[in-house]
Amino acid sequence: MAPGLFITFEGIDGAGKSSHIAPLAAAWRAQGRCVTLTREPGGTPLAEKLRALLLHDDMDALTEALLVFAARRDHLRCVIEPALARGDVVLCDRFTDATFAYQGAGRGFDTQVLSYLERIAQTGLALEPDLMRNPDLTLWFDLAPDVAAARLADARSPDRFEALDTAFFHRVAQGYAARAASAPQRFARIDAAQPQAQVWQQLTAVLVQRGWLADGAGVVPAMSVPGATL
């Protein structure tokens, strides 16, 4: 059995990451791999309830962080860890990097507290009892906040985060850049300002280079506006 792979997709709202997840799953399934598609916050019935609160109810940054990590703990326990133990490829729309980017850089919340919550929520769920679960690879869709905002302008009514000003998303983008700089072996930067076909080529090239995906696998996804993710 092939070992499980945990791959996350990160970027500010409007970066286009969500439109690539299903086509990438199809490419892996065509190669005979089992794939689990999921998202954060969310992925389990409990975590989806917490997601609704996070996106629509007013709260401070600490409350946001506690709810995010509570949802993540349940998500890891019920979905991600069992899938990895089966040998699945797990494709997750956002994970802990989003918390450091949104609540940490965006909200200005203490990153040391976030690191403490990360250790608590993400340790002791894998087969290795002391493992703190992190992705094997993070695909970071890097896009200027002004461009991302223009893409989402006519999509639908914004949620609590999408309604924040551009300055907030500039801070979030800087938070992602800092996370990528701190873990260059895990992050792969995708230039999300490029046309859809070129974005697809960038991300598949990363996976081919690592030996995880066959060269030329999959088709270019149809252009769509990404859905709301925290």
SS3 14: coil
As annotated, the binding site includes: 11-18
Residue list for the binding site for ATP: 11-18
Amino acid identity at 214: A
Type of residue numbered 57: D
Dihedral class, residue 168 (left if φ above 0, else alpha if ψ from -120 to 50, else beta): alpha
Helix (H) / strand (E) containing 142: strand 137-142
* Contact between residue 54 and residue 159 where contact means Cβ atoms under 8 Å apart: no
Burial of residue 146, with CB atoms counted within 10 A of its CB: 0-12 exposed, 13-18 middle, 19 or more buried: exposed
